[in-house]
Structure 1
Amino acid sequence: MATVREIAHHFLQRHGLTTIFGNPGSNELPFLRGLPAGIDYVLGLHEGAVLGMADGFAQVTGRPALVSLHAAAGSGNAMGALTNAVYARSPLVLMAGQQVRTVVGMEGMLANVDPTQLMRPLVGWAGEPTCAEDVPRSLAQAVFEAELRRRPTYLSVPYDDWDTEASPNAAMIVERRVRRSATPGEDDLRALAGWVNTAKHPALVLGGDIDSAGLFDRSVALAEHLDAPTWVAPSSFRLPFPNRHPLFRGVLPAGIASVSSALDGHDLALVLGAPVFRYHQHEPGRYLPEGTRLVQVTDDAEAAARAPVGEALVADPGMVIEALLKRCTGKVAGEHRYLPAPEPPVGEVALHPEQVFAALRDTQPADTTYVVESTATNVAWWRQMDLRRGGSYFFPAAGGLGFGLPAAVGAAIGNPGRPIVGVIGDGSANYGITALWTAAQRGLPVTFVILRNGTYGALRWFAELLEVGTVPGVDIPGLDFAAIATGYGVPGHTVSTVDELRTALAAPTDGPRLFQVDTTLTTPE
């Protein structure tokens, strides 16, 4: 008879969870014993980096990923990175080891006290099997919940369960499949098409879910069919529309009054694959301009329920896009010629971030995937980059620092055929720095570009926005990322001029490399 562990391993293989990201503790070792040859265990040196790698992997592959965490302390280390995965709707399955059952109640060393509450409210589901025989079913539920909710789940398993003989029924869990369909109704489609056809000045607002669902090109087709100005929703974690397209109007600012101002003049705002809206800076005002109807289409029922304004249709955005292409009258428009980037400004003491981004644009392949965690340079980024393919841009979905370096590593593991570049601020880099070790050990051809300005640029901007004056803790001088990278096994280089940077970026690489570039301070807006 098979053990619980063997059934679990078989289930993971059968359902494609063959890449495990982890940093093991003693409670996890019994699960890891005898891993089948087809399962790849990706070791990270800190649980935050481990979860960030899994997040990047899940986003580029569109598949669930298993994250093996230690009990309470190790799980706690991962919670900062978990916030990004939640808002990216990454289907991660977090599985933590638990003490043996006879010791949990006594709160023995490494017992996970009340584990189902530990990761709430971040995870969509959390559980601990009631007995060893329930482990395979609980693991299956964790996977299916993550897929159906598109939200991380958490499962705590006492480590003495793994060697238990499984019941005859346990093997039946391996063949289970759970699917979800969110087909919009005919009445809903008729009404939606009617609103679009009668709108005089419709606008599209696209969220990261559009890119996650592989709808990048279809969103372009819809925008061109309607000849509709197109924004990216505030605080978006992916790019759902080419940023140099003539219909692209930029990323909506993350403030209530600013969003209302940007949508002024449009009688219809059709929001596809995004919450309404993920505001950041406090800007009181009307949610929408006078005379603007907002209609949200999302497969995220929670996002639809919590929106403060507009009408919502919970359905597959891809099906709605195809329906609108068939039912809506096409607008006559000229040829959509992509717009050139402006000449980047020149920094006086250090390089301007736009000079760095222009160098990336001109030297990297057109299908490069960029994992970006440099908050203070987002305006410079969109002014210079030319991204025309889906899966080109990833950003920490909750703004939690430590995403960029690990997610770039995870993206390289998940999509080895596509060039990966991590663009990371010096403040952010410290939170996920241990991911460099994993990149070095696996020889991943990732290019890391560290923008060093010696300060938390976004905090300086917020200090001005909040009118708090001079505050402590915003400067971080004395960091040498080229030396740090070399210590982790990644060749690190300091680059001072545009010509040096362009030459370095254009050189081929078959392994990881890091370029530290001193840049001038810019602001998010």
Structure 2
Amino acid sequence: MTTVRAAARELLRSRGVTTVFGNPGSTELPFLQDFPADFRYVLGLQEAVVVGMADGYAQATGTTALVNLHTAPGVGNAMGAIVTAAANHTPMVVTAGQQVRAMMTMEALLTNADATALPRPAVKWAYEPPRAQDVPAALARAFHIAETAPRGPVFLSLPMDDWDVELDEAAERAARHAAVRRVHDLTAADRPCVEALARRLEAAVNPVLVTGGSVDAEGAWSAAVALAERRQLPVWASPVEGRVGFPENHPLYQGVLPPAIGPLARTLAGHDLVLVVGAPVFRYYPYVPGPLLAEGCELVLLTSDPGEAARAPVGDALVAGLRPTLELLAELVDKRGDAVPARPARCAVEVPEADGEPMSAAIALAAVASAAPEDTVWVNESPSNLQLFRDHVRVDRPDSFLMTTGGGLGFGLAAAVGAQLGRPERPVVALIGDGSAQYAITALWTAAAYRVPVTFVVPANREYAILKWFGRFENTPGVPGLDLPGLDLCSLARGYGVPAHRATDPAHLAELVGAATAGAEGPVLIEAPVTTVPPTL
């Protein structure tokens, strides 16, 4: 006979899930005991960082990440990061230990009293198996739910005395069946529906394509490019997307749409059909009233998320897998006009001249862009500088940009570590605001302890600059707590074991980035003092 622990580990091996992100407590020790040599445990010093690292890892690898947290307090610490993972559509199985079954009714210390309620509504499914024998099947179900559209985190509460329970022959056979089952759901839309959409595209006088992060996450990048080129569609990026869904150096690429109702509608004015692919309609913020679409403009949404389709405030929707549907759509539409000009070849970007001390954020970002390798994976959590980043860093290949879509902070520093663990063959450069960095600062310890070669670049403006911009926009003067004097990112990094440098000018910054990304054997943090450039709508 075999134990629940052994059956669960075989299930994880069958799915290729041998990396566990965690922060252990006493209720997790039975799961972790005699940890197998073919598994990897990635320790984070705080639970939100653990989930953030798993988020970056899952997105970078295209697989489902496994997280192990400490009963109710650990789940509570992680909730902000779980909310972010849900917004990012990140497939993730979050497990947490639970008190032994004999003491759950009396709610002994470390009992998660209402385990399945705590992580809701951020998770797709929350469950505590009624018997120890049900743990393998519950784990299998958790992976299936996390991986089917819309992808996202799920939660399992697992009592600590379940792991040593021995399975009888029937239960062991059921566990083997659970380990080999697979669920596939990303199918093309019904052909008549796609044919109807093709006719609408062909009939439109001035159609436009808007792409979102799910285009990248679902492997539909090439299909989106093929459709745009076949119909010569101008392409906008949907606002506040965590991934890039279209090459930003392509002649058809127009830029990023503003995230407010009125400005977005004005930007798309003149188009009679808007095809949105792999994004909600839309992530609006702040509130700027106006029509959702200009007069005479229609919208169609293609998404794999039924919730996004249902809550869209305007237009029709088609719920289906993005890649097969776009591939079929590109086959069905007639070719329009002449061939699209080829994308320009990459050329060396010169290091900009200094424009003052401290340098402006625009100059700093240009310097970073000039020195980073072509195949860089970019992680961004510098909200006040995001607009400038998209101006200077043109992502031209899939799987190369990660940002949170959840609206909170704490994703970037941790996600960059996870992304590098998942894609060790590619350099990872993380642009993290000095305020944002504090939400996940302990991720630096993990980067150092596991020698994860992330290049952290901190454009430090000593304030919550994005909040000051919102304060001006919303006419809310006199708000306290928006300045961050006294932060010393280099000292903090060194305290966690990460080598750190402070850039003095653009040339020095480019030199530091170039050295850090050239085959580094571990993480490096570069602080670049900058002046603030407010974003615009």
Q: TM-score, normalised by structure 1?
A: 0.97
Write out aligned runs for 1:283-302 (5 A). Answer: 283-302=288-307
Q: Deviations over 1:334-373 (max 9, x none)?
A: 5144499999695433111222222222211111001000
Aligned equivalents of 2:180 and 2:343: distance in 1?
50
Distance in 1 (CA, whole Å) between partners of 2:502 and 2:29 is 41
Equivalent of 1:474 in 476, 482, 503: 482
**Structure 1 CA distance for aligned equivalents of residues 415 and 104 of structure 2:** 34
Q: 2:202 and 2:397 mapped to 1: Cα distance? A: 28
**1:344/1:384 contact within 8 Å kept:** no
CA distance in 1, matches of 2:123, 2:108: 25
Q: Measure the CA separation in 2 of the matches of 1:118 and 1:466.
A: 34
Kindly indicate whether the alpha-carbon contact (under 8 Å) linking 2:351 and 2:510 is maintained by their aligned counterparts in 1.
no
Deviation at 1:123, TM superposition (A): 0.1
Q: Is the 8 A contact 1:182 1:315 kept in 2?
A: yes
- Residue 97 of structure 1 corresponds to which residue in structure 2? 97
In terms of mean alpha carbon deviation, does 240-249 or 97-106 score higher? 240-249
Which of 288, 295, 312 aligns to 1:307? It is 312
Which residue does the alignment assign to 2:412?
Answer: 404
| 8 Å contact kept, 1:427–1:456 | yes
Matches within 5 A, 1:143-182: 143-149=143-149, 150-168=151-169, 169-170=171-172, 171-172=175-176, 173-182=178-187
1:389 is paired with a residue whose SS is coil
Give the superposition deviation at 1:386.
2.5
Alignment correspondent of 1:7: 7
Counterpart contact for 1:182–1:314, Cα < 8 Å: no
Q: Output aligned runs, 1:188-203, within 5 Å.
A: 188-203=193-208
Task: Note if contact 2:209-2:234 (Cα within 8 Å) is conserved in structure 1.
Answer: yes
Change (3 A) 1:104 1:524: farther
> Secondary structure at 2:27's aligned position in 1?
helix
User: 2:345 aligned with 1:335, yes or no?
Assistant: no
Residue in structure 2 matching 1:460, options 455, 468, 474: 468
Deviation string 1:416-459 (CA, Å, 9 cap, x unpaired) is: 10110110000100001111111111111110001110000110
Q: Is the 8 A contact 1:375 1:524 kept in 2?
A: no
Unaligned runs of 5+ in 2: none
Query: Cα distance, 1:237 vs. partner?
Result: 0.5
Q: Using the alignment, how far apart are the partners of 1:345 and 1:511 within structure 2?
A: 29
Q: 1:326 aligns with which of 331, 334, 351?
A: 331
Partner of 1:267: 272
Percent identity for Structure 1 against Structure 2: 46
Instruction: Give per-residue Cα distances to partners, 1:22-42, cap 9 Å, x unaligned.
Output: 000100000011232211110
Q: Is the contact between residue 256 and residue 287 of structure 1 (CA under 8 Å) also seen in structure 2?
A: yes
1:56/1:406 contact within 8 Å kept: yes
SS at match of 2:166: coil
> Does the aligned pair in 2 maintain the 1:219–1:321 contact within 8 Å?
yes
Deviates more, 1:356-365 or 1:459-468: 356-365
Residue type of the alignment partner of 2:93: V
Paired residue for 2:121? 121
Counterparts of 2:168 and 2:274 in 1: how far apart (Å)? 55
Map of 2:31 onto structure 1: 31
In structure 2, distance between residues paired with 1:302 and 1:487: 44
The count of residues paired between Structure 1 and Structure 2 equals 525
Give 1:524 deviation, angstroms. 2.9
Pairing 1:429-508 to 2, within 5 Å after superposition: 429-507=437-515, 508=518
Name 1:354's counterpart in structure 2.
362
Q: Distance in 2 between matches of 1:167 and 1:205?
A: 54
Q: What is the RMSD computed on CA atoms of the aligned residues? A: 1.6
Quick check: 1:23–1:46 contact (8 Å CA) kept in 2? Answer: yes
Which amino acid in 2 is paired with 1:312? A
Deviations 1:311-332 (A, max 9, x none): 0000111112112221112222
**1:129-171 per-position Cα deviation (integer Å, ceiling 9, x unaligned):** 1111111111111111111141100000110111111232333
1:411 & 1:440 partners in 2: Cα distance?
A: 15
Conserved 8 A contact 1:342-1:383: no
Matched residue SS, 2:167: coil
Separation (CA, whole Å) in 2 of partners of 1:359 and 1:332: 39
- Does residue 185 of the first structure (1) align with residue 190 of the second (2)? yes
Supply the distance in 2 between the matched residues of 1:446 and 1:516 (Cα, whole angstroms): 14
Alignment partners' CA distance in 2, 1:361 and 1:69: 37
Deviations 1:31-85 (A, max 9, x none): 0112322111101111011000000000011100100001111101111111221
**1:79 is the counterpart of 2:79:** yes
Alignment-derived partner of residue 112 in structure 2: 112
Once the two structures are superposed, what CA deviation does each residue of 1:450-505 show, in whole Å capped at 9, x if it has no partner? 11100001100110111011210100011111111111111011111111111112
SS at match of 1:406: helix
CA contact (8 A) 1:44 1:50 kept: yes
TM-superposed CA distance for 1:221, in Å, is 2.4
Q: CA deviation at 1:240?
A: 1.0
The question of whether the paired residues in 2 share the 8 Å contact of 1:246 and 1:337 is answered with: yes
SS at the partner of 1:78?
helix
Distance 1:241 1:182 in 2: 21
CA distance in 1, matches of 2:355, 2:480: 26
Structure 1 outlier segments of 4+, above 3 Å:
336-347
**2: distance between equivalents of 1:342 and 1:300?**
42
Could you tell me how far 1:512 is from its partner in structure 2? 0.8
SS at match of 2:135: helix
Q: Is the 8 A contact 2:223 2:330 kept in 1?
A: no
1:520 correspondence with 2:531: yes
CA distance in 2 between counterparts of 1:337 and 1:470 reads: 48
Q: Find the aligned partners of 2:160 and 2:416 in 1 and give their Cα distance.
A: 32
